[in-house]
Amino acid sequence: MKTTSALFSILLLLICTVAKAQNDDGINDVKTDSIKMDNIFRSYTYYVPKDIKKSSKLIFILHGSTMKSSLMITATGYQFNRHANTSKDEIIVYPQGFETYWNDCRKSATYSANLLNLNEAGFFKAVIAKFYTDYGIDTSQVFVTGFSNGGHMVYKLAMENPALFKGFAAISASLPVESNNDCVSKNQPVSILIANGTTDSISPFNGGTVLAGDGKNRGDVAPTFNSVQYFKDLMKCGEIIETKKGLPDTDKEDSSTVNVYDYRCKNQGKRIELIEIVNGGHIFPNPTFDQWPKSLGNVNKDVNLPELILNFFNSLE
């Protein structure tokens, strides 16, 4: 079996051929800095568009396990940078997990970030403070999205630090079951988007064991709709408005469609959205990068997931 690291090494090789063509409008003009946390220098790469507006938003994009932050930039098709370059109202930050992993909620995780119980929230708080000092960001307009292990990090932040971010988005990840969850939730309602593929072989849509490409067991996760229900229950809302719509099947040859479920609390302002990628694999679909390793599953070519995430963030009250 190919290891997770090998899969993303293949992805990196594919990406290198694409990255050269993505800087015509400056969207690859990124910088890297670091902050010392727990006696460890934690790095982050970031994109600030030219002529950035005052009091801009700050959006974190978290990579998956074994990935580098630079890989995440291109795997998302430069779409977040591209949007920021157009809006002039967003700074995009790609933090680097310790030894390419995040200290998430899963008890069964054996990578160093979890074993050392790194203070991830402290890392994010320090980065937010740095961008407030340097760029005058609006600290009430901070958002976070993550893929795979990064998605699990998003869940941890939503549970333990709900007030730190205005909106959350978890991609290719479901909440760990109670017996595999060592987070202490504050049980506060949040606005969150979840996007999962129904044929994801790493993070099963209907719940079960997360078995990484290296064969290591990350423990069990809940079904996707149970993860949605968890956040719906936190709303404690008398009336939740629920809608479902299918997005246009623009690519008839990708054998995949997308359904969007929307849940809003009428009196609270919180919102939950589920993007169900039918016959979608362990991927982050976007129009400018689709060269995912076949081992990660089918690639939907109908949606621009970064755009849907940003639309969700911008819709929040």
pLDDT at residue 179 greater than cutoff 50: yes
- Give the total number of structural domains in the chain: 1
Mean pLDDT to the nearest integer, 13-20: 50
pTM of the model: 0.93
Q: What is the Cα gyration radius of the chain? A: 18
Taking each helix axis as running N to C, give the angle between helix 79-87 and helix 305-315, from 0 to 180 degrees, rounded to the nearest 10. Answer: 50
Token pair recorded at residue 228: 């949605």
The predicted-structure confidence for 136-173, as pLDDT tens digits, reads as follows: 999 999 999 999 999 999 999 999 999 999 999 999 99
**H-type alpha helices, the chain:** 4-19, 69-75, 79-87, 112-115, 120-135, 149-160, 224-235, 305-315
Q: Which domain, by its residues, includes 206?
A: 4-315
Looking at per-residue pLDDT, the higher value among 201 and 25 belongs to 201
- Strands 167-171 and 142-147 come out as parallel
Q: Which one-letter amino acid corresponds to residue 188?
A: Q
Domain harbouring 173, CATH code: 3.40.50.1820
Token pair recorded at residue 297: 């599953």
Token pair recorded at residue 237: 């809302």
The predicted-structure confidence for 34-53, as pLDDT tens digits, reads as follows: 999 989 999 999 999 999 99
Looking at per-residue pLDDT, the higher value among 1 and 201 belongs to 201
